[in-house]
Every structure is written in structure tokens, then in C-alpha cells.
Structure 1
């Protein structure tokens, strides 16, 4: 279809002419769906008039909201929505409008509805949908309904918003008052929060500093105190603060746990050392008891020597094992050396005797007295030991008697009685081995003693023998099943091929110790052979492993020897200022290294162990010596700190000196255990007293500072309420300025700065008022001279009119100053030698402009050259000293009195301006 026909038959609302579309829009019925769609299309038309005409036909807010979503930049749609929702152009019920408003998100639309709605509930619903604080402030300030203003003001929470609300909500004083209260409360809360955060930050800094500090006796107490202070704070910490707090707590707990672990390790070491000392002492007592029991017997046999050798081997092995772990006490070491010396003496005597046994037996057989005597003498048998049976026979042969003498018999009986008592004691204690050996010795001696002499002891010996047999039976009853179990265990161990060599050796040794521990209780040849056979199988299996152990022991021996050499080099040349803590660490590390290089060959173990024990003893002595020196140095620091309290110096200097003493205390190291805490408490008490004195001085200084601030505030308030009434009151201001100067220097801070600004403003306003009062007083004095000026004007008029030029007399009651008197005389002289009218007019104009400059009045354009000239003159005159306004006014008024003669016409032209300027100068600023 051609374009003309298409335009001819097209609907009018699609006409290209905007006026036609506008008319069509007014005729479309929105109730009909096809026309409503046309209206919606016209609502988005490019022409404003068409859009407005179409929108006027739509009464459905939902349709308009949909159109607004499609074209949000069209203000006509939003305006139509405002009209409909505010009930300005439609009959939409309130419920429907409320439902529509509660679903809106458009800020402008909600703000307009809240301001223009016809119902309070509608406005409250619109305000409830507003989220921007700017819109809420607008509603709180400009809304016409008080409830809506209050609802909007309640939702303003920021400090800037509340401040704007307090300044702009002049329509509602309640809103303004509540905004101020909330603003003050918010600022107070912010200040409290800032103070709490600062307090928490300071506490956190202390905790972090404490976490980095080394341990000291009060470390744990300070940590708990800081944690309690942290938990006592009311505010909640931030995430970063909580993280830092937890990290600092972890570091503090680590320091405390490390110290507790060290203390526990030290206590455990002490406990083990005590156990080792007890074990050493028990072994020594056993060997000492065996050595002491030898002289009590009648005869010394090979069994006694074998038992003594076994005890010595057990003592040496156990002693060396304990010495590898713990330093031997010097007393025990001396006892051990004494026991070994006694043992060596017995063994030496026994070996000498064994070397001459064959000679003695042959001499007895041959009855060769000389040879027997030489052989016995060569044995050098100690008199403290009982003789062996062979030696006793030889001695009896040499003595020429077969029976002992009567005195010897009594001594043997006495010794026999004592040994019976000892045997009963051993049976009471359950010491089977010792009791068995002693009982056997008693039975042997009983066979050699006469029956008649032995009869009183026979019953006791029989009774004790029965007790010993009962103890042997009981041991056999217990030991029988135990031996069977040990045989089964060692057979299983020998057949177990999965077990490691080290574990095999450990368990084999334990089984052997348990077997030996049973002694001869329930012993049988079959079980012994069975146990020995299994043990030999294990020994064959462990042979390669033992070779490796031997090479490892040799390496350990070399490492221990090198360690001993290093420690000996340290002890040979110790540093004069060696730190005892460093020496303690060396000692502990040496002990750990010694334990790590274990075991060593058995034949060298005792010698290297004694060497290391002597080194550790010497090192401990060096540690104790250095710790004692540290303790003495710390006592001197305590004395210095206590003397510092009485020193006549400032608390700050004493506190700084105390800090240096604390630094020196930390650098010294630790004193001996038990003294460190005592010394630290004394030193800490003295330092606390010094710091308390500094805090007291600071508190006193702060109190004086607050007092000066209060005096300054009182002086400011007094001067603020004072207003000078005359220029002579300037003395009060100068006295106040002198008082302020006496209060200086004031502490820096916001309060001080605020007071200084206020003080400067008050002084400036009071000086300005005093200057204005001085001007007023000058003008008042001029007013008193006004009759004299009028007389001069009358005399000037008469003189200029051609009359007599007479002088004006001066009234003494006027009390003029010298300057005004000279001006009066100059005025009288000007009539006798008058100036030209132009010069007089120029002088009056000059005085008027000068007075206008002083009064800050307006100057006409033609007087501008005079103004510039006068300002130049004022600058030139002020090079030496700047004149005050009162002095300049006095000069102008004096010159005004001296200027003449003035015609009535000239005066009439100028007097009004002069009076106006003088009136302006008499106005005082508001108080």
C-alpha cells in the first residue's frame, strides 16, 4: 500500500502529527484492551504533550510502574505515579496504594510520596522503604507530619547525618533535640570505644612485649594478670586484635611450658640422680658388708673369694652404667675407692697365698719347718683376715700346738655368739644369701669347737638352721615354676627368628639376670643345661651383631674421649666473665652427647666414666662459682637500687637509672637455684618503689597541670563575663594577661588549644572595646569643647563679614588639654592672618576624609585622592610608633578646632558629615 493510503487509513494515535496523536489520546478508552495498549504506546511517545495527554488517561499505578521500568528516564510517568499514589488525581483506595508503595524501590518516587501523600500511614510506608540517609534527612526536616519526621529521624544513624539533622531540622525541635542527644551519645560512645580500643591496644602491646621477653620468676603471674585485664575489658576485640592476642598468648604459654618442661626435666634428673645414688649406696653397702664379714669368720675359703669377686664385678658394671648417666657424689666416690682398695688388698693377699699354696702343702707334707716358715712369711697374710684352712694348719704347726689356747677359745666362742646374732638379724631381713654363707661358716666352726663349750649355742644354731631351711624351701617353692618359665622363655626366644638383634640381646640379658637372681633355689642340672644350651644358641646368633656393637662402642669411646678433651680444654682456660647459663647449657649438651655416644667397650668404660665424672664435677664447680659471682653482682645491683631510692635526684632520673640496672640484671645471667627468686624479689621491690615514686611525681605533676588548666578556665570564664565600661579598665585586662603568662607553660592538648583560642578571642574583643571606649572618651571631651567651637565659628563669621576679628576668650572651667589650648590659640591667630577660603575648604575636607577613614565610612569618588594622601601620611607617621585610633581622633579634632576662619556656608556643608562620623565612632560593639 502506498504511503499516502497507509497514512490515510492508519489510526489517529499513530498519526505523524503530534497534535493529532494528542487529540487521539484524549479520546482513547483505557477500559478497552486494544485502546489501553495504544495509550501505553503513547505514554512512551517522543513528544511531551502526547505523553502527558496519554498519561492523564491512565489511572492504574501498576501499568505506570511497568512503563517506568521500560523508560525510567521519563519524568512524566513518575509525576503521574506521584499524583495517583498521593491521591491527588484518582480514587484509588488506601489499601491498594499501601500495597503498591510497599513494593517500590524508586528513591525519588518514594520521597515524593512521603512528602505529598494524603495519609500518614501511606507516608510512613514510603519512609520505611527509603534506604538512603540523604532521603531520610530530607523527610525528617521537610515532612509536614510529625510522626513521619520522627520515623525518618529515628533511622538516621551516622554521625554526619545526625549533625546535619541537628542543624537543619528547625521545623521540629523534638527532632533537633533527639538528633543532638543521639549525636552526643554517638560521639560519647565513639570516644569510649576509641578509649577502649586504645586501652586494648596498649594492653596488647604489653602482652606482645611480654611474649618476647625471656622467662623470669614472675613471668607466669604477669601473663595471667594481662589475660585477666584483657578479659575484663567491656568492648569486643577486632579480628586482627584477637589474632594478635592469641599469637601472643601462644608465645607466652610456650615460654611458660618450656620453662616448666625444663624444671620438670631438672626435677626428673634430680630424682634419677637420687635413685642412682641410692643404687650406688646399696651396692656399696653390699660389698662393704661382705668385706666386713670376712674378718668375723674362722676360715677364709675359695667360695668366699668367688662370691666377693662376683659382687665386685656387679658393683663395677652397675657403677659404670650409673656414672654414664649421672655424676657421682664425691662422698660416694671416696667410699667406692675405699671399698675397691680394701677389695684389692684382700685379692692381693689371696693371690699371694695361692702362689705359695704348693710350697706350704709340700712343707707340711715333708714337715720342713724352715721352708714352711719362709713360705708363710712370703704370703704376707693380713692379720685382719681369718686364715684359710691350709694357712691355719701351717700356723698351728709352726706354733707347735694342735689345739688352740684357752684365750683363743674364748675369743672364738665370743665371735661365734656374735655371728649367731648376726645370722638371726639376716634371717629377719630375709637376706638368704648372706644368711646361707654365715650359717655355713658357723657350722664349719662348730665342728672345730669343743662340744662342751658349744653346748649353750647348739639350740640357737639348730633353730636358726631350721629357719634357714624353711626360707630355702620357700625360695625353692617359688623359684621352681619360675625356672621352668625362664627355660621356656629362653627356648622360645632362641627359636624366634623375626625379632631384631638388639631386642633379642635385651631380652636375653633380662632372662639371664632373672635366672641368676634365683640363685641356687630349686636349681637342677637338667634345667641349668637346658637354659645354658638355649643361651649358647642366642650367643652364636648374636655374634655378628656383637661385632658391629663392638665397632660402634669403639667409635663411641673415641667420641667420648674427644668430648672429654674439649671439656678439659674449656676448664683449663675458663673465661673470666663466663655466663653461668651458657656453662649450664654446655653441661647439659655434654651430658646429652655423652648419653648419645653409648655404649662403650666395657674394659674402658670405667676409666672414661671416671674421667667424665671428674670433668663434670669440675664443670659444676665452675658453674657454681660463676653463679655465686652472679649472685654477688646481683646483690650489688640490689644495694645500688636501694641506694638509688634515697638519692637526691629527680624521680625520672632515678627511673631511668633503674631501667639501666634492670638491663644489667638481665645481662648477668642466673644466680644459683633457690637464690635467684629471692634476689629477684628484693630487686623488683626496690625497682617498684622507684617507679612508684616516679608515678607519684607524674600524678602530682598532672594534678598541678589540671589545677593550672582549671585556673586558666576560671580566668577565661571571668574575663568572658567582664565588659570594660571605660578605657581605664584596661588595667584589669593587663592583670589578667599577666596571670595567664604566670600559668604558662600549659600542657599540650585539645583542651589547651581550645582555651588558648578562646582566650585570644576574648583578649582581642576586649582590646577592641577598650580602643573604642578610648575613642568615645575623646569624642565626649570634644563634645565638652563644643561651646568653644561655636564661639570660634561666630567669631569667624563676624570677621569674614567685615567686622572686627576679635579673639575668643578661653573658659578655665573647660579644663582643656595643652594640645587643645594650642589649637584654640592657633584658631584665634588664623582670624588675624586668615587663609584663603579654598585652603580652609581643603583643610576641612581633609579632616572629614581622615575622620571617615577612622570611622570606616564611605568616601566619595572625588575625595579618593585625599584618602590616598592621608593613608600615605599615616604610614609615614607610623614608622616610629603606630598611633591608636583614639590618638588619631584626638589629632583630627584638635586640627578641626585649629582650622579657620570657617564661613557659615562652609561649616554648614561639613558639619552634618562630621556629626555623623562622630556618632558612628561613639557606637560600641555588642558585649
Structure 2
């Protein structure tokens, strides 16, 4: 009753009837705080009409916005829009504009922008709108031109501008602006696309250019592409900028590498050219000395000593130059010929020295026979002048020299005339002058006929020699003055380093000596020599330090030779040729680094290092040949592996092991290494190709299994069992799926397995429901038999004789046994309470199978049945739901006799459970 009184005496604005609450709204006074609070509470009423009436009484948009979090209904939004747009209420414009900042609902802002009572208010609402569709609608439908234009200005997408140009029928200016902006955007997009395409073209060209080798136009092509890139006005993307920088870096590296290589080659060529010029001068000086010896009247010890000293100096400098650059074949040949001529003269002089005592004794004893035998043993060359001792011996025997014969004299004069002509053509003044002087003397000793034949030619050559002498004097005079001034300036120059000073001094002295006696001047010679002496004095400490450094270099070279000799004396039989090559190259670098050395010892240590290099190269070649033999063995193993019967994957692993052995061996001889590698790589490629083919076959078989599994899944997914007997089809499909296992490891395989398991689970569930359905249908066919048993039970319970009911239908063993038990139960009936408990238990068991709820009184029985089911499941194989239902139905048939009231009470729930289980889910 208290609840009734509370409802009866409640205020009208809280009445249960919405109509009463709506009437109460009009009676509330908005001026009173309590009524205003009631109105605000009614804004959230469950009835829309009540909410509408309450909102109509409120005209303060600020208060409505305060209710936003709790009462944001459609009616609330409509009232707020009405108040903010100025259609109702008296809120000032400035206040409404300020309140717009708190409105977040897009539709409300669009409504205010479309129907606001002021242009400024509409523009303020429009500024809060970001949706392009709403902006297009405002630009097309708004009644104020400024708002339409403002909305149109904020539309930027191509699709939006296209729609605006098509839909803006109300304002032609908006349509025109939309078309102009659309065309401008399309032009900008086309231009940007063209710029991007151009950048991509330049990038592709630059990247392709960066992959090319250097060519004469490489740098020009790179600069052209760089200018094209810089000419583009748009900004590249981060990926384009990265690609451009990478390609530019590679191009600049190729250019810088080529420039460095070009500079290195140019410097090497210049050093080689200087070395060749120096060798040329050295060979010419030795050749002139040898020619001068042959053309002199006598050969003395001083001449031979001078020749040997010049040869040692030439050999030392030749070796130093050869350590840096190999000589040309022509210069090497001339050098070998000059050395052979020097050795020939040296051997002749040694024979003369050996026979000198014999000749002196024979001359003193006037023993002509012994003297003649000594001359024959001496075998002095015909083209060499005799020594004073040899000349006395010949005079003693009155035996003219073999070349003093008139014919031989004429032949020698003819040969020397030709040599003089070649020397004049070459400009060798000093040698030509000596040869001309010798020819004049020998020409006077010739008979008249040969003398007349060669004298005109000799006069002509003498004129050329005089012209050459005058020309040398004409050129040498200013040159001597220039050299004197240059060496004076050099001696007074204190800014140069000692090395630079020594280099320039040597160059000036060399140029002075090359002038010979041309335009010789005593005053200039004294002046030049004085300046040279000052430089020598100034360079004394430096040269002393240089000599010490040369001595250190000599010690370092000797130590290097000692180390290499120790290596060669005990070579490692397993030494890697590449390591030996590195030792050889590093030794050569160190040899060049420890340069120069004292000249008198340079030749001997150079010969020693040359022998060591030859021995080291021989060791390298031997090890390389051994490696070549080992690599041929590896090739044979690879060839045998290619035809082996083992699996391709195993053969590929063995081929990888062979490759590792190949790399560990080192390099064979240079020409043979490439040939062996090409053959070995071809065999390995064949082995790996077989492995890839096997992989492809395995992949194809896996793909076929996947396709077969997919087809099986689609087939079983589309198959719907019609009866429980179709379970064999499902089991056959499961066996087929097991035969397709294992599937390849992949996401597709995992997805197929999950789908297959889901399909199998669904089909088994469907088959289980079909089995239940069939059991229940079969039970329905047994209802006449059950009814006959129930009628017989009723008659037996009324005291009539117990009847035996005939089945009349085909029953399986379980049902037949239950039928017999039912007939037997009427003959010896159980207690009624036992029958009731048994039937109640069967009803609860059937409800449990159907998944239905049972009453609270039957809950303990349900729990007992569940425990019994769990225990039975642990002790034997899991029973299907259909088999369990079959057992329950058999128990129902066997339970009796059942009184009719009991059956009437239980049959409804039994039928309901069976009906629930008989329903099949929608397929």
C-alpha cells in the first residue's frame, strides 16, 4: 500500500503517464530555479513528446550545452540548433558565436551554417565543418553568397570539385571557381606527374649510368644528368633523393677513381719516360766511350779503368731505374750489346795482362818465336787499338797489324765514314769530333786511290761537323750564361729544401756537362764551379744524413734478403701461393721503399734480391702447380658426383663441401686457374640445377597435394549427409585427407587444416543429429507397441490377469529384450514407487540429453546421472549420443507396469524432450 500511495501522491511532472508529465511541463515556471531544474531533468525523459515539450520551455543555449553529456538526444540537438541559429530565443550573436566552439556535432553545425540568422554566425559554423560532402552541400544550397564561396574555397579534392562544378546550379560563380580550380589542379597534377616521370627517367638513366664502366664521355654525361635534375622545380621524394644521392656517389666514385688512375698512369708514364731518357743517355755515353776506345791510337790502363768505372756507375743506375720501371726491349738489347762489348774488351785486356810478362821477357831476350807464340795466344781483336807493349812486340817482329793491310784500312775507313755520318745526323758532336780526327790521320796513311775516293765525303762531313760546332757554340753561349746565372741564383736561394736544392743543382750540372766544350769560357767555368762549390758546402750536412739514410736502406735491404732467403731455405710444403704472392709483392714494395742505397753496393745487393725473387717465383709456381693438380682431382670428384645415384640435395651439399675445399686450396697458375674454375663451376651448376629441379618437383607434388586437399575440402563442404549411414563417406574422406598429409608448411596449409577440422566437426555433429533424429523417428513407429504395453499395464494393475503383448514389428536385440522385460514385469510387478523413480530418472536423463533445464527437485538426480555418465565414459569407449538415447528409450520400453496417472504426468515432458532432440538445424 505504501508504494500505491507514493504513486498516488507523486508530482504530476513525475507521473507514470507521459501525457500527464507533458501537461505538467506547461505549468512549470522557468523563472524559478526549482522548476528550471525539473525542466532540465525532463529533458532526459524517456518519452520524446515530454522531451520536446521540456526543451521548448528552455531558451538558454548555454544551459543546453551543459546538459550535453547526459541528454544528447535528437530533440536536444534540434532545440540547440534552433536557439544557436537565432530562429528562437534572444541570445546575443556574440554569445552564440562563442557557444559554437563547444558544439562538436557535424549535422548541427551544418544546420546552423545553412539556416543561421547572421552571415558571421554561418561563417563561424562553416569554419568548424571538415566533411567535404557537407561543404559541397553548403556551397550549393546556402542562401548567402559569401558562405557559399567560403565553403567552395575549402573544397580541395578533385572528386569534390567535380561534384561541385556539376551540382552548383544556384551560383554560377561557385561553379566557375570550381571548374577553374579543378582545371588548375589537373594541370598541376599533370605537371607534377610529368615532373615525377622526368625525375624517374633521369634517375633510371643516372642509375644505369652508375652501373657502366668509365668511358671518355662518362663525366660529361653525368654532368648533363645532374643539370637536368637541378633544372626540375618540384621537390623529389625521400626515396628519389636517396636514389639520386646513391647514384651520384657511385658516378663520382667512378670518375674520381678514373682520374686517380689517370693521374697515376700519367705519373708512371712520366717516370717511365724520364727513366727511359736517363737509360738512353747512359747507353749513349757507354757506346761513345767504347767507340772512342776503338778509335784511339793506343789502349792504356787508364782507359780501361775509366771504362770499368763508367760501366759500374751505369749498372748501378740501370738497376735503380729497373727496380722502378722495366726497360724497353730495344734499350735492353742495346744495353746488353754494350755490356757484351765491354766484356769483350775486358777479356782481351785480361789476356793481354796474362801475356804481359811473357811479352816483356820475349822482348828483353829477343826471342821472336816465343813472342810470335804469345801474340797468337793473345788473339787481340782487330778493331781495338794496340797497347804500347803490344805495339812494341809487333814492331819487333816487323809484323804489321792485320788491320794495317791496305784493304782492311780502306774498309775500316769506309765503315767509320758511315758511322761519322750517322753521328752527325744524331748530333753526337763529341763522338763525331773524335772520329773525324781519327779519320783524318788514317786517311793520310791510305794509298792515293782510296784516299781520293773517301776524301770528298770526309770534307763534306767535316763541313757538317764545323756547322754543328758553330751551331753548338751559337746555342751554348747563351745557354752557358743562363746556366751560370741560374746556379748563382740557386746558391743564393735559402728558401728551397735541401732535396730540391740538390735536384736542381744536379740538373744544372748535367746541362753544363752536356754542353761539352761548346762556347767554352774560362770566366764562366770558374764562376759556375764557384757557385757549385758553395752549394756543395751548403749541402754537406744533408748529404751526410742522406748517406746515412742510404746506409740504413742498405741494411734494411740486406735484412729483407736474409728473411726471404730463410723462407726459401725452409719452405712450407702447404704454403698458399696467394700468401707467397703477397710476400713477394710486399717484399717488392719494401725494396722500393728502402731506396736509394750506396751506389757501390747497389749492384751486388740488387743481384742478390733478383736471385731471391726468381727463387720465390719458382716456389710460387711449384705450389700453384700442386694446387692445379689438387683442383683437377676436385673436378674429377665433382664429375663423379654429378652422375652419382644419391639424392640431389645430398649431392648439392657435397658440392658445397668441394667448393669450400676449392677456396681453401688457393689459386693455380694464372692462365690455368680460370680454365679449371670454369670447368668446376659448370659441374657445380649442373649439380645445383638438379637440386633445383628436384625442389621444383617436390614443390609441384606439394602443390598437387594442396590442390587435392582443397578439392576434398570443397567437396565435403558442399556435401550434406542425408542419413547417419552416410558416416562412411565422411570416414572415407578423412582417410583420404590423412593420405594427403603431410602438407607443406605454409599459412595456406594451416588455414586449410583449420577449415577441414571445422568441416569435419560440423559434419560429425550433423550426423550425430541425424542419428538422434532417426532414433526418435524409429521410436515413433514403436508408439503403438508402447501404447499396447501401457493398456496391458493398466489392466494388470486393475487386477486383471497379466497379458503378454506381441511385438508385431521388427525389433533389434536391445528393443526386443526391453519388450520381453516389459511383459515379464507385468507377471511380477515391482513396487509403484520403484517404477515412479525409474521413470523419473529416465525423464531427467532424457532432458539431460536434450539439453533442457530440470526442476529444482530433480537437480540432485541430474547431477547423479552426469557423474554416472562420466564414470561409464572412463571405463569404456565413449558412447555416442544416439546410442545413449537408444539405451534410454529401451529402458522406457522395459520399465513397467506403469500406472496411467504416472504416465500421463511424465509423457508430456518425455515427448517435449524427444521433440527438442528431433529438430534438425537449418542446413
TM-score, structure 1 length as denominator? 0.70
**C-alpha distance in structure 2 between counterparts of 1:77 and 1:885, whole Å:** 54
Which deviates more, 678-687 or 317-326? 678-687
Give the corresponding residue for 1:502: 499
Secondary structure (helix, strand or coil) at the match of 2:405 reads helix
The CA deviation string for residues 717-766 of structure 1, in whole angstroms up to 9 with x for no partner, is 22222111100111221122122212212233333222222221111111
- Give the structure 1 partner of residue 222 of structure 2: none
Cα 1:529–1:753 shift into 2, 3 Å: same
Structure 2 residue corresponding to 1:588, chosen from 581, 585, 588: 585
**In the superposition, relative to structure 1, how do residues 507 and 257 fare at CA in structure 2: closer, same or farther (>3 Å)?**
closer
Correspondence for 1:170: none
In the alignment, structure 2 segments of 5+ residues that lack a partner are 1-27, 44-54, 136-140, 143-150, 156-235
Partner residue of 2:823 out of 828, 835, 842 = 828
Whether 1:904 and 2:900 are equivalent positions in the alignment is: yes
User: Cα gap change, 1:56/1:405 in structure 2, threshold over 3 Å: closer, same or farther?
Assistant: closer
1:773 aligns to what? 770
Structure 1 residues 124 and 768: alpha-carbon distance in aligned structure 2, compared to 1, 3 A threshold: farther
Secondary structure in structure 2 of the residue aligned to 1:86: helix
Helix, strand or coil for the counterpart of 1:900? coil
Q: 1:508 to 1:286 in 2, by over 3 A?
A: closer
Distance change (3 Å), C-alpha of 1:118 and 1:510: closer
- How many residue pairs are counted as aligned between the two chains? 778
* Cα distance change, pair 652–827 in 1 and its aligned pair in 2 (3 A): same
C-alpha distance 282-727 of structure 1, shift in aligned 2 (>3 A)? farther
| CA drift at 1:851 | 1.3
**Which deviates further from its counterpart, 564-573 or 584-593?**
584-593
Q: CA separation of 1:86/1:313 partners in 2, compared to 1, >3 Å: closer, same or farther?
A: same
Structure 2 residue aligned with 1:544? 541
Give yes or no for the alignment of 1:477 onto 2:479: no
- Please tell me whether the aligned partners of residues 110 and 126 of structure 1 are also in contact (alpha carbons under 8 angstroms): no
The correspondence for 1:91, drawn from 81, 86, 90, is 86
Partner of 2:346: 344
1:507-522 aligned at under 5 Å gives the runs 507-522=504-519
Render the CA deviation track for 1:115-149: whole Å, top value 9, x for unaligned: 97584999998697378xxxx99x99xxxxx99xx
Moved more, 420-429 or 884-893: 420-429
Cα contact 2:56–2:79 (8 A) shared by 1: no
Deviations 1:340-376 (A, max 9, x none): 533533554687899999x79xx99xx9845998799
1:257, distance to aligned residue in structure 2 (A): 8.9
**Residues 294-328 of structure 1: per-residue CA shift (max 9 Å, x gap):** 66888657897587457525513422422554689
1:830-909 superposed matches below 5 A: 830-878=825-873, 879-909=875-905
Question: Displacement of 1:921 after TM fit?
Answer: 1.5
Give the 5 Å matches for 1:246-395: 283=282, 287=286, 291=290, 300=299, 308=307, 311-325=310-324, 338=340, 341-345=343-347, 348=350, 369=366, 382-385=379-382, 386-388=384-386, 390-391=388-389, 393-395=391-393
| Distance of 2:480 and 2:238 partners within structure 1 | 72
Aligned-pair CA distance for 1:808: 1.6
The Cα shift of 1:786 comes to 2.0
Deviations 1:450-479 (A, max 9, x none): 223432222233333333333333333333
1:497–1:346 distance in 2 versus 1, CA, 3 Å: farther
Give the drift of 1:511: 0.9
* Cα deviation code 1:637-669 (max 9, x no counterpart): 455445544443444334434444444444444
Mapping of residues 658-677 of structure 1, within 5 Å:
658-673=655-670
Equivalent in the alignment of 1:606: 603
Q: In the superposition, relative to structure 1, how do residues 73 and 918 fare at CA in structure 2: closer, same or farther (>3 Å)? A: closer
What is the CA distance between 1:388 and its match in structure 2?
Answer: 2.9
Instruction: Identify if the C-alpha distance between structure 1 residues 774 and 76 changes in structure 2 by more than 3 Å, giving closer, same or farther.
Output: closer
CA offsets per residue over residues 163-199 of structure 1, 9 Å max, x none? Answer: xxxxxxxxxxxxxxxxxxxxxxxxxxxxxxxxxxxxx
Query: For the residues of structure 2 that align with 1:641 and 1:669, how far apart are their CA atoms?
Result: 18
* 1:918 to partner: Cα distance: 1.5
Q: Is the 8 A contact 1:110 1:127 kept in 2?
A: no
Aligned to 1:211: none
Hey, what does 2:915 align to over in structure 1?
919
Gap change, CA 1:791 and 1:26, over 3 Å in 2: closer
After superposition, the Cα gap between the structure-2 partners of 1:653 and 1:783, relative to the gap in structure 1 and judged at 3 Å, is: same
Q: Deviations over 1:513-551 (max 9, x none)?
A: 112222333334443333233323322333333333333
Deviation at 1:560, TM superposition (A): 2.4
Structure 2 SS opposite 1:805: coil
Residue matched to 1:129:
128
For residue 113 of structure 1, report the CA deviation from its aligned partner.
Answer: 3.0
CA deviation profile, 1:8-58 (whole Å, cap 9, x unmatched): xxxxxxxxxxxxxxx99959xxxxxxxxxxxxxx9xx999999x9xx9999
Alpha-carbon spacing, 1:60–1:852, altered in 2? closer, same or farther (3 Å):
closer
RMSD: 5.5
Instruction: Please point out which of 395, 398, 408 is paired with 2:396.
Output: 398
Check whether the contact 1:847–1:896 (CA below 8 A) recurs between aligned residues.
yes
* Residue 726 (1) aligns with residue 723 (2): yes
Shift of 1:408: 2.5
1:38-437 to structure 2, matched below 5 A, reads: 86-88=81-83, 91=86, 106=101, 109-110=104-105, 113-114=108-109, 119=114, 129=128, 283=282, 287=286, 291=290, 300=299, 308=307, 311-325=310-324, 338=340, 341-345=343-347, 348=350, 369=366, 382-385=379-382, 386-388=384-386, 390-391=388-389, 393-400=391-398, 408-437=405-434
For residues 423 and 694 of structure 1, the distance between their equivalents in structure 2, rounded to whole angstroms, comes to: 80
CA distance in structure 2 between the partners assigned to 1:278 and 1:443 by the alignment: 33
Rounded to whole Å, the distance in 2 between the matches of 1:443 and 1:375 is 32
Q: What is the CA-CA distance between 1:566 and the residue it aligns to?
A: 2.0
Q: Is the 8 A contact 1:505 1:542 kept in 2?
A: yes
* Kept in 1: contact 2:59–2:83 (CA 8 A): no
Partner of 1:223: none
Compared CA separation, residues 259 and 771, structure 1 to 2 (3 A): farther
Moved more, 877-886 or 865-874: 865-874
Change (3 A) 1:679 1:270: farther
> Residue 909 of structure 1: CA displacement?
1.9
**Distance between the aligned counterparts of 2:677 and 2:257, measured in 1?**
20
Q: Give the TM-score normalised by structure 2.
A: 0.70
1:601 and 1:547 mapped to 2: Cα distance?
A: 12
Which segment is superposed worse, 661-670 or 544-553? 661-670
Are the counterparts in 2 of residues 376 and 394 from structure 1 also a CA contact under 8 Å? no
Correspondence for 2:443 = 446
Q: Does 1:486 align with 2:483?
A: yes
Deviations 1:837-874 (A, max 9, x none): 22222222222122111111222222233323323332
Task: Give 1:819's aligned residue.
Answer: 814
> Which residue of structure 1 aligns with residue 712 of structure 2?
715
2-structure distance, mates of 1:787, 1:577 = 104
What secondary structure sits across from 1:87 in the alignment?
Answer: helix
Q: Indicate the SS of the match to 1:648.
A: coil
1:221-249 deviation per Cα after TM superposition (whole angstroms, max 9, x unaligned): xxxxxxxxxxxxxxx9989x999998999
State the shift of 1:509 in Å: 1.0
- SS state at 1:574 partner: coil
Q: Secondary structure at the match of 1:753?
A: helix
